[in-house]
Chains A and B, each alone.
Chain A
């Protein structure tokens, strides 16, 4: 069974860069899937951040595009999120997830990682 696990610092200072990694186990990242990041501020709705194809093609939310980088490392079966110049508004649970090519629907999700932006 495919599993996704987010990892990274749980506390980031304002103006610094948030970095998270999603490790994929039970399946290869180098197949016809899109690997994405979604976040959820405490008590608020889900927000789509962006996604990457295993070839490295990326797509980002227009509201975060200037600050976001998503990359994939097929040798480690991982993909990563970097969000620069963070503020308290970036405090959220960050989820990684997988979508099949040509279909909607994020069918596999990680358990989520809480990242707090505070000095």
Chain B
């Protein structure tokens, strides 16, 4: 299965909102509600931010939200803060029974 497609980088100023897209196919994102998003700071393990397309784990800020339309999932971060600067990865279940990650997006807070 090929990696999901994410923009290499996005940027925004503090207080603004940004959206990161994650494009797959009819064999992964479009087929299931099983899309998750991860935040990774340098040298750290990834942290789950969104699961099942739009659900936030306990403790994750309400500024993070997820959605899906067709074969594209999106992560939106509102009220950008300096601490949001990190790499973000999407992940989806596939029709083969495997999971696949996106190529990652580097978020820069200007």
Which A residues lie at the B interface, using CB under 8 A?
36, 38, 45-48, 50-51, 59-63, 95, 103-107, 109-112
User: Do A46 and B46 touch (CB < 8 A)?
Assistant: yes
B interface, size bucket? 20 to 34
User: Do B45 and A95 touch (CB < 8 A)?
Assistant: yes
- Given the complex, which residues of A lie within 8 Å of B1, measured CB to CB? 61-63
Q: Which of B46, B93, B100 contacts A95 (CB 8 A)?
A: B46
- Given the complex, which residues of A lie within 8 Å of B47, measured CB to CB? 109
Q: Which of B48, B91, B103 contacts A48 (CB 8 A)?
A: B91
Classify the interface of chain B: helix, strand, loop or mixed. strand
* Interface hub of B57, B97, B99 (most chain A Cβ within 10 A): B99
User: Do A109 and B45 touch (CB < 8 A)?
Assistant: yes
Give the residue name and chain of the A residue nearest to B89 (CB).
A46
Which B residues lie at the A interface, using CB under 8 A?
1, 3, 33-36, 38, 40, 45-48, 50-52, 55, 57, 89, 91-93, 96-104
CB distance from B96 to the nearest CB of A (A): 6
User: Do A104 and B51 touch (CB < 8 A)?
Assistant: yes
User: Do B3 and A104 touch (CB < 8 A)?
Assistant: no
Q: How far is the CA of A107 from the CA of B47 in the complex (A)?
A: 7
User: Do A60 and B98 touch (CB < 8 A)?
Assistant: yes
CB distance from A58 to the nearest CB of B (A): 10
CB distance from A65 to the nearest CB of B (A): 9
Instruction: Give 7 A-B contacts (CB < 8 Å), ordered by A residue.
Output: A36-B99, A45-B102, A46-B104, A47-B101, A48-B99, A104-B93, A109-B47
User: Do B38 and A46 touch (CB < 8 A)?
Assistant: yes
User: Do A45 and B101 touch (CB < 8 A)?
Assistant: yes
Q: How far is the CA of A36 from the CA of B35 in the complex (A)?
A: 16
Q: Which of B57, B98, B102, B103 contacts A105 (CB 8 A)?
A: B57
CB distance from B47 to the nearest CB of A (A): 8
- Given the complex, which residues of A lie within 8 Å of B97, measured CB to CB? 59
CB distance from B65 to the nearest CB of A (A): 15
